Amino acid sequence: MPTAEQCAAGEHNGYWDGGETGRQAVCVGSGGHALVYAGGTVTPACGHVVIAGNTVPATGGDPNECSSPTEGGPWAAAAARLGLRDCQHGATSQETRPVVAFVTCAGEMTSFDGLEIDARLTFPAAATEPVPLVLLLHGWGGHRVWFQSENERTDVLGRGRFLAEGYATLATTARGFWASCGAFDPVADVDADGSTGPTEEHPAGCAKGWTHLAERGYEGRDSQHLLGQLVDAGLVDGDRLGVFGESYGGGQAWLLATSPPWESPAGRTLRMAGAVSLQGWTDLLNALAPNGRADDRVPAAGRSRGPLGVLKTTMFGGLWWNGRIQPVLIPQAPTYPAQVMARYNTVDPTEAHSFIDGWMAAFHAGEPHEPVAAAYLEQALAGKSALLADDYFAAVARGEVEPTPVLALQGWGDALFTPVESVQMYRRLKQLRPDYPVHVAFGDGGHGAPLRPEHWSLLKDMAGDFLVSALDGRPTSLPPITSLRASCGGPSDLTTRTAPHWDLLAPVDVVLSADGAGTTSWVPADPEAELALDPFAAGARACATLDRAPRGSARWSWDVPAVGLETIGLQRVAVDYVRTGGGATLIARIWEVEPSGRRTLVTSGPYRLSADADPPAGSVDFALFGTHWRFTPGNRIELELSQTDAPFLRPGATPSTLRLSDPSVTFPTPRLRGSRGASVYR
């Protein structure tokens, strides 16, 4: 370990500006080895740090130069040629072992169509040859600074976890947001047709710089093109590329994981070596407007398209508004403009995949216009759904493509991208190849219900370990299926179930069935209760509580077994119905009811009955959103069936009633001692 005098004497050719007085300093030896000086007082300054009263200049010897492409040596110089000219030194947190000196370079990289993409490349200061890289993709309305942490303990998916492995990271801001041609990005005056001309920041202009809403041929191609440039520049190992994406980025991570190999600008063949999707989607139409046909059985992407599902009104509306006018303060960049506004396509309605106003109109068109609206939405959303990656699936089936290892992290309480988004993709990939390296892990939370910190910590560790294994070409030690039990914000619950296959996680079905009938109507009977269940208004969907039963619904209940009941997966509801009037939406909710009458929502899900495709009388059997839950002895399990769930789900447009009878609920459970099959309770 160098002394303060050795650092100050310039015997080591680097330093880091920790940003805080008193923090640890790092010198980088001339041989590329990171050395740590941990004593004395460190004061950051322009172009140098002061260690124990001694000035340690930046590489190059100019203590007054704050930022220079040459500070990081050949790497930073190469990055500057790609547009990443704002380079600074840094180091991972003292809490991270080993402490790693790094260089981080920000700027704008040119994508395939000339659009400038805001990006930050971070690489180990000791790098002397191409290194593995993890691409970091933010959520909707976000920015690359989401991944700016270097502290492995607090943000394993930031830079620190991967720098410790000798990897680089590339964090980008998606096109149409912030400095990637977002609405507040400095551009030329807007013309009458909505187009913008070139500026110094965007030589190609932002005429079509709007968001394409995670389209494979735009946002996906942006990522591929930028990675290709880094490989062609000799900075990154093209055989060791990984991606981590969250929410909006999670859907894109799935798209990249299911993309056939692509070519860099110089013609080198590239592919993803590993991918992690956090709270992402695989079938965007099903995620935004479920019709109840998606489940964890045999995968069939077409099920979400017939009939058109029920729009998650507040969730989709929130996304629509979030991209337009929501004020956002980013703690990591407090001086950045405190407002985010997406640049939407408002001038070209023929480009359906980016015309979000057209989506909104189609979703709200109503039942008489359903065939046209459904066809429009199917076309608009197809390029955003990994479940429809038919070219990739065919190539894998023929043995032409090496499968990309994938870890999907999903929240049991996620009201937007529900667990089926990962499970149906797991089924599809295992259908192609039983040995396909796909893993799925579930925690408590999600969109509309933030992940519990202790669950998030475990899932982040899993994500980091998985990507490191994948990029190093080693099999992961993670179980194929992992589930952390939901506990609704109560005492910390780290009850974990693992399995080698989805079918073995909860292989025993407990079926609760009942006699009797009830009638429901399309007219909302209890708006107050339904508002309390809206994830946007109430802050959560699963785990919402009421002190009374909602009015206007049909209900059946059962005592919780004396030993309790643990259920994991996608619970199912079956019921006979007679429909009067037009199409109808059947809403199923599972409650746990205490003796006091207080009830907690465990899971729920809709099923759309079409006036054209479904008979006026029959039976339905459908999967709910799903959960990992333990019912407590002494309480009751209640099935509630209704036709309204506004404002969360779009109300029906045509009058209808349902007579519902003889329901049953299926709870997948872990294998119980001595159990051999399904148990039926009445």
- Amino acid symbol at 298: V
**Same-domain status, 120 and 44:** no
Start-to-end CA span in the chain (Å): 72
Q: What is the CA radius of gyration of the chain?
A: 27
pLDDT attached to residue 417: 97
pLDDT attached to residue 338: 42
**Same-domain status, 123 and 23:** no
Q: What is the CATH number of the domain that holds 296?
A: 3.40.50
**Same-domain status, 148 and 225:** yes
Any domain includes 498: no
In the block, residue with structure tokens 């109109």 = 361
Question: For residue 74, is the peptide bond before it cis, meaning its omega torsion is within 30 degrees of 0?
Answer: no
**Same-domain status, 26 and 126:** no
Any domain includes 483: no
Q: Which residues contact 50 (CB under 8 A, 6 or more apart)?
A: 41, 42, 43, 56
CB 47 within 8 A of CB 64: yes
To 5 degrees, how large is the angle CA 184–CA 190–CA 195? 100
To 5 degrees, how large is the angle CA 453–CA 456–CA 459? 155
Strands (E) across 71-167 are located at 86-91, 101-110, 116-124, 131-137
**Same-domain status, 169 and 50:** no
CB 424 within 8 A of CB 299: yes
Question: For residue 647, is the peptide bond before it cis, meaning its omega torsion is within 30 degrees of 0?
Answer: yes
pLDDT attached to residue 341: 72
- Other beta carbons within 10 angstroms of residue 260's beta carbon come to 14
Total length of the chain: 682
pLDDT attached to residue 63: 39
Q: What is the pLDDT of residues 423-480, one digit of tens each?
A: 999 999 999 999 999 999 999 988 877 778 888 889 999 999 999 999 999 999 999 9
Q: Count Cβ neighbours within 10 Å for each residue of 481-517 and write b for 16 or more, e otherwise.
A: bbbbbbbbeeeebeebbebeebeebbbebbebebeee
User: Which residue, of 15, 39, 57, is where some domain finishes?
Assistant: 57
Any domain includes 588: yes
Give 339's DSSP letter. Answer: B
pLDDT attached to residue 109: 97
**Same-domain status, 147 and 257:** yes
In the block, residue with structure tokens 């999907």 = 408
* Helix, strand, coil shares, percent, the chain, to 5: 25, 30, 45
**Same-domain status, 389 and 517:** no
| Total tally of structural domains belonging to the chain | 3
Cα separation, 417 vs 107, whole angstroms:
32
Strands (E) across 204-333 are located at 236-246, 262-263, 269-270, 272-278
- Amino acid symbol at 243: V
pLDDT attached to residue 439: 99
Q: Which residues contact 142 (CB under 8 A, 6 or more apart)?
A: 173, 174, 177, 246, 248, 249
Cα separation, 231 vs 56, whole angstroms:
33
Cα separation, 357 vs 316, whole angstroms:
11
Any domain includes 529: yes
**Same-domain status, 568 and 637:** yes
Cα separation, 490 vs 423, whole angstroms:
27
**Same-domain status, 51 and 135:** no
In the block, residue with structure tokens 């007579």 = 659
Q: Which residues contact 33 (CB under 8 A, 6 or more apart)?
A: 126
Structural domain range at position 569? 508-681
pLDDT attached to residue 352: 98
Any domain includes 416: no
**Same-domain status, 37 and 141:** no
Two structure tokens written together for 174: 């998606």
Q: Which residues contact 463 (CB under 8 A, 6 or more apart)?
A: 156, 157, 244, 276, 278, 407, 409
User: Which residue, of 57, 74, 100, is where some domain finishes?
Assistant: 57
Any domain includes 340: yes
Beta bridge partners of 359: none
**Same-domain status, 636 and 548:** yes
Any domain includes 571: yes
Helix and strand element counts for the chain (H, E): 14, 31
pLDDT attached to residue 450: 72
Any domain includes 539: yes
Residues of the chain short of pLDDT 50, as ranges, are: 1, 11-24, 28-47, 58-71, 150-156, 188-195, 326-339, 673-679, 681-682
**Same-domain status, 218 and 347:** yes
pLDDT attached to residue 9: 56
